[in-house]
Amino acid sequence: MDGRNDATSIPLPDWAGGLGLEQHPEGGWFRETWRSGTTLPVESLPPGYPGSRSAGTSILFLLAPGQRSTWHRVPGAELWLHHRGGAIALELGGTGDAPRDSVVRIVGTDVECGESPQVVVPEWCWQRAAPLADEAGLVGCVVVPGFDFADFRMLE
């Protein structure tokens, strides 16, 4: 699961055509679906936030076979929820300056085989993801406090 991909060269599955997804800088496809109308002032946020943030945000995020997201992190906790398609291998690399000692969690619906329909990525935790098999996977990602690209860090 190293590096990013060019999403334009990988077609979306037919069932994803009506979702209004755009390329995500980390790889894959996304669309913001919710942004809380409640604003949290910077003084109420944990260290590391340069300004006020929405209380929470949510996106749809799709990875197709051959796509992957690159190592990245955000200051808020992120809840991944499996919606459709194949399982996603979500690799967590700790909260240090760079990813290390990673563990893989499988976001999917086959609970009997160890998959979990939801996985939490802790605050500031490095993460990257890829489809587990040859099927696109659609997840929802909820970030609290809300996501802002000003906070988004990708590993160079």
Query: What are the domain boundaries of the chain?
Result: 20-46+57-132
Whole-Å CA distances, 102 to 88, 126, 145: 15, 9, 24
Kindly report the number of other CB atoms within 10 A of residue 123's CB atom.
17
H helix count then E strand count, the chain? 0, 13
Q: pTM for this one?
A: 0.92
Dump pLDDT digits (tens) for 4-20: 455 557 889 999 999 99
In sequence order, the β-bridge partners of residue 119 are 80
Q: Give the 3-state secondary structure of residue 19.
A: helix
Q: What is the pLDDT of residues 68-121, one digit of tens each?
A: 999 999 999 999 999 999 999 999 999 999 999 999 999 999 999 999 999 999
CATH fold, domain 20-46+57-132, is Jelly Rolls (2.60.120)
How far apart, in whole angstroms, are the C-alpha atoms of residue 148 and residue 25?
A: 13
